[in-house]
Structure 1
């Protein structure tokens, strides 16, 4: 089953801006959802949905920077592109420090805007892929026994079977059995792949 098409979310209190952007993005083949209220957007957003957010800064009730902060607090992975006619350098610096994908001031060239949005969508796709991979790695790690986990943590640092056996107070043959189980449960065939998955899960790899 393929992922749903990404959505470009537009949040701006100026309805005419929403209409103009909506026409531009629709003509470029993008799926669009427009909101003139930041709070309505927050209430209807599916945190798991792929896409990006095009956001005005100065809005009543909840400004763009506050909305960006609210999304971060929810753990949202949506890249944020600020598009505003009221931007200044300090505001753009603040937005970028908080993780904004870009900060554009109106008027902006259509092709530049579309390119920025495509970059943001690609960033989201890559981020979602990395999160999904990590979830799969953690799921596999959870299947390991305590002893298999100990063996894995030593194998990925480059220790030999006999060294691991000595550290764990057992024999090399037993370590080989545990190691085979680890490879099977982690779904890998090579040590290099095991090291990569372990590193992805934050397990220390390499010697030292």
Structure 2
């Protein structure tokens, strides 16, 4: 059985292997970017099928639920588990509509994560969040100026500073200034965290 793990780090590999230890010829392939995941899914056609995709929502280049939707279209009958840092019920429902049949918190206990992976692998929909559920206040977005919202939306779609600057006809240094302001107003750790907060709030 082939499983694709798309995450910046392969930390889930051992857990996945332990979860499906009874499966003969188990193979877990790790990729660290959305582009690599797309390439792997394309190359899988005509070969041994991928039985499960485990996808980190913070995967570089994923572009939020749009990226989830694109990956799901490549293998429409393959179960996909989306791993989140925190999350909301609304986001879980939107992820399901985008093509993921599993939405789980990254900080689940190993046994809970294993059970969620097994349920998702069976084709059923599962959504499991840990007790430390994180959900940003929607009022946070109202603190952003119109330009900051434009910059944030660009960030959520995977655009780099240069692309955002070109799209809105502003200087790249201005984009960086807006990005610092966005991170501060959303209480984020960095731009990636700001994008995750925005996605949780339904901006992406």
Normalised by the length of structure 2, the TM-score is 0.49
| Max Rg structure | 1
Q: Give the number of the structure with larger relative contact order, counting CA–CA contacts within 8 Å between residues 6 or more apart.
A: 2
